[in-house]
Amino acid sequence: MNSLDLRGIPRVGFGLDFQLQPPSVMRRLADRFKGRLSHVSVVAMINEQDAKQFKQIFAGLPLVHHLSNVAPGDADGPHLDRLDHLDSLSQQMGAVWCGEDIGAWSIGPYDIPYFAPPLFERDVAQLIGERVATVERRSSVPFLAEIPSCSFVAGRISLGEFFHEIVERSGCKLVIDVSHVFSYALYTGQEPRDVLQSLPLGHVWEAHIAGGGAKPSEPYYYVDNHTDLILPEVADLLAQLVASAPSLRAVTYEFSEATPDDQVDEELTRLERLLADLSFVPSIAEPSKQQ
pLDDT per residue as tens digits for the range 104-121? 877 666 666 678 899 999
Q: Which CATH architecture has domain 3-277?
A: Alpha-Beta Barrel (3.20)
DSSP, res 20:
T
Q: Are 167 and 132 in contact (CB under 8 A)?
A: no
- pTM comes to 0.94
Q: Please indicate whether residue 53 or residue 110 has the higher confidence score (pLDDT).
A: 53
CA distances from 93 to 66, 87, 181 (A): 12, 10, 30
- What is the distance of C-alpha 185 from the center of its chain? 18
Q: Tell which phi-psi region holds residue 226, choosing left (phi > 0), alpha (psi between -120 and 50) or beta.
A: left
**pLDDT above 80: residue 203:** yes
Tell me the pLDDT band of 281, cut-offs 50, 70 and 90: very high
pLDDT per residue as tens digits for the range 151-162? 899 999 999 999
DSSP, res 290:
T
CA distance 182 to 149: 9
Tell me the pLDDT band of 2, cut-offs 50, 70 and 90: very low
CA distance 280 to 265: 19
Domain ranges of the chain: 3-277
From the list 209, 242, 241, the residue with the least C-alpha distance to 228 is 209
Tell me the pLDDT band of 3, cut-offs 50, 70 and 90: very low
